[in-house]
């Protein structure tokens, strides 16, 4: 692969959201007693928002959170990473809840599973690739 270091390229907002649609899970970052907590979660992207179904969704609701996911091709030393930061809001409409429950399974089977939408304020995405 050569001696050149990998190249880091910033991704556009649409490209970042498109990449998030390609992976089944990521990580939600929220605070517990003013300390960061990170939990793996299943998600989907709908109408430009990240939707998460998890046992920690209730802890995130009404707060600023970050959602991060990435993908990689180990054989070719390529990859990407996307972070969405915004306010998490509970999904409370019964029809919407049923819709998301049919599309997103919680990553772990625990009580108090809820659904939140993250309204993106900041989206940062980067692609890692070889130069040349």
Q: What's 123's domain CATH number?
A: 2.30.110.10
Asked if the structure places residue 2 within a domain, the reply is no
Instruction: Give residue 107's pLDDT.
Output: 81
> Which runs of E-coded beta strand occur in 19-113?
25-32, 35-46, 49-54, 64-73, 78-90
Is 80 part of a structural domain of the chain?
Answer: yes
Residues in Cβ contact with 124 at an 8 Å cutoff, skipping those fewer than 6 apart: 10, 16, 82, 83
Q: CA distances (Å), 111 to each of 57, 64, 90, in order?
A: 11, 23, 16
Digit-by-digit pLDDT tens for the chain (132 residues) are: 456 677 889 999 999 999 999 998 999 999 999 999 999 999 999 999 999 999 999 899 999 999 999 998 766 668 999 999 999 999 999 999 999 999 998 888 777 899 999 999 999 999 988 754
**What pLDDT, on the 0 to 100 scale, is given for residue 112?**
86
pLDDT for position 2: 57
Instruction: Note the pTM of the prediction, 2 decimals.
Output: 0.89
State how many domains the chain has.
1
**1 is a domain residue:** no
CA–CA gap between residue 65 and residue 77 (Å, rounded): 30
């Amino acid at each position: 692969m050569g001696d050149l270091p990998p190249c880091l390229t910033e991704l556009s907002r649409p490209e970042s959201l498109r990449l998030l649609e390609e992976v089944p899970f990521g990580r939600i970052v929220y605070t517990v007693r003013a300390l960061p907590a990170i939990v793996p979660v299943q998600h989907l992207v709908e109408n430009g928002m990240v939707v998460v179904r998890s046992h920690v969704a209730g802890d995130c609701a009404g707060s600023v959170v970050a959602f991060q996911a990435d993908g990689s091709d180990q054989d070719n030393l390529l990859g990407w990473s996307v972070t969405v930061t915004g306010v998490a809001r509970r999904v409370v409409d019964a029809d919407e809840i049923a819709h998301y429950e049919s599309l997103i399974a919680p990553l772990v089977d625990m009580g108090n599973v809820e659904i939140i939408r993250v309204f993106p304020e900041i989206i940062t995405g980067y692609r890692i690739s070889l130069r040349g």
